[in-house]
Amino acid sequence: MTTLRPFTCNDLFKFNNVNLDPLTETYGLSFYMHYLSHWPEYIQVAESPSGEIMGYIMGKAEGHGENWHGHVTALTVSPDYRRLGLAAMLMKYLEDVSEKKQAYFVDLFVRVSNKVAITMYQQLGYIVYRTVLEYYNGDPDEDAYGRRISKKSEEIAKTSEIFHETFSGHLAEILRKLNPIRIESN
* pLDDT computed for residue 151 by the predictor: 67
| Integer angstrom CA distances of residue 100 from 22, 95, 103, 106, 141 | 33, 9, 8, 12, 36
| Measured distance CA(163)–CA(14) in Å, rounded | 51
* pLDDT computed for residue 159 by the predictor: 44
| Measured distance CA(3)–CA(49) in Å, rounded | 8
* pLDDT computed for residue 24 by the predictor: 82
Say which CATH topology domain 3-149 has: Aminopeptidase (3.40.630)
* pLDDT computed for residue 96 by the predictor: 95
pLDDT digits (tens, 9 = 90+) for 19-55: 887 778 888 899 999 999 999 999 999 999 999 999 9
CB 138 within 8 A of CB 111: no
* pLDDT computed for residue 53 by the predictor: 95
* pLDDT computed for residue 22 by the predictor: 79
Q: What is the pLDDT along the chain (186 residues), one digit of tens a residue?
A: 889 999 999 999 998 889 887 778 888 899 999 999 999 999 999 999 999 999 999 999 998 877 889 999 999 999 999 999 999 999 999 999 999 988 989 999 999 999 999 999 999 999 998 999 988 888 888 899 989 888 654 554 444 454 445 555 555 555 555 555 544 544
* Contacts (Cβ under 8 Å, ≥6 apart) of 48: 2, 54, 81
* pLDDT computed for residue 167 by the predictor: 52
| Measured distance CA(121)–CA(112) in Å, rounded | 12
* pLDDT computed for residue 168 by the predictor: 52
DSSP-based three-state secondary structure for 88: helix
